[in-house]
Chains A and B, each alone.
Chain A
């Protein structure tokens, strides 16, 4: 190989490495117990056949940010995207270990969980400021969407100019009201699903390919 050809290859390799777009990181955010890990598990199971983390009815089950890399999602129209799914701890402005004691957890373990949960929230906020390219904002559609933490977080996401899809989760429950969520966030697309039952997740995948692609 001539020196010229080798140099040309080296330069083109360097340029490729320099301009290679890293995979888009989609963060799943929302208050505790909205079903973030349940959705993350479903996405990963549907497209990779794996899981992200354990789920529970006790709030703050997820206390560390977990990332699953290179998930390719294909919509019904055939278009697809490859993303990293980032499952985050539920965001709140308050944590009291007594909350865990009410679920029958011993004091020592409850204090430990509370400390881990506070670290998890701080970590989630840090990721949002530094490493997230798009957001799936999860809400429990049986609850009031106007809670301050939702207004604040959606405001923070908007100020960072990140694309956001709002998911009205738990639409399998009788008192679910996705309409209330739509009225709270008219500026963003809202998709009603059940992460647990799998209702309407195809529409979410379709939206993800067009919105984050």
Chain B
């Protein structure tokens, strides 16, 4: 089969993410992105995981090689203060759909409250 020119996009389900530890998630994302792929997470990363992702991304940056990531997501949504939320241990917040790609291939064109528009280049 002849391969068409383009960019690989990996969509990772919330179920799969839930099974992974913080470091496993970060490694999965970064290894994928460093190969030039775009990763879409059904459920985004927790704030602490985002903080570690930034830190580990910085360690992987190399001159004329990987120059970091571009990442877009919606702000974390509060699950509210309802009866169920209280029963489950106070306020729980919900992470949202997230797209992550190599900084030199993924560019955000427009970001609104409810729409993120991005552009992907196949050349590195």
**Max chain A Cβ within 10 angstroms of own Cβ: one of B47, B51, B63, B68:** B51
Determine whether the beta carbon of A152 is less than 8 Å from that of B71: yes
- Give B55 Cβ to nearest chain A Cβ, in Å: 5
Given the complex of chains A and B, what is the CA–CA distance between A146 and B75 in angstroms? 10
Give the Cβ gap from A145 to chain B, nearest Cβ, in Å.
11
Which residues on A sit within 8 Å (CB–CB) of B69? 93-94
Contact assessment for A94 and B70 in the assembled complex, using a CB-CB cutoff below 8 Å = yes
Which residue of chain B is the closest to A92 with respect to CB atoms? Answer: B68
> Secondary structure at chain B's binding surface: helix, strand, loop or mixed?
mixed
In the complex, what distance in Å separates the CA atom of A183 from the CA atom of B72?
Answer: 19
B58 touches A122 (CB 8 A): yes
Residue tally, chain B, CB below 8 Å to A: 27
Contact, CB under 8 Å: A122 / B55: yes
On whether the beta carbons of A114 and B51 are closer than 8 Å, the reply is: no
B58 near A128 with CB under 8 A, answer: no
> A93 to B58, alpha carbons, bound, how many Å?
7
Q: Which residues of B contact A156 (CB under 8 A)?
A: 47-48, 50-51
Q: Tell me whether B20 is interfacial, beta carbon within 8 Å.
A: no
Interface of A is mostly: helix
Q: 17 A-B pairs, CB-CB below 8 angstroms? A: A93-B57, A94-B57, A95-B68, A115-B63, A118-B59, A119-B58, A122-B54, A125-B51, A125-B54, A125-B55, A128-B51, A129-B51, A152-B50, A155-B75, A156-B47, A159-B47, A160-B47
**Given A94-B69, A96-B68, 19 additional A-B pairs, CB 8 A:** A93-B54, A94-B57, A94-B67, A94-B68, A94-B103, A95-B58, A95-B68, A115-B63, A118-B61, A121-B54, A121-B58, A122-B54, A148-B73, A148-B108, A151-B75, A155-B47, A156-B48, A159-B47, A160-B47
List of 6 A-B pairs having minimum Cβ-Cβ separation, nearest first? A94-B68, A94-B103, A159-B47, A118-B58, A96-B67, A122-B58
- Measured CB to CB, the residues of B under 8 A from A are 46-48, 50-52, 54-55, 57-59, 61, 63, 67-73, 75-76, 93, 103-104, 108, 111
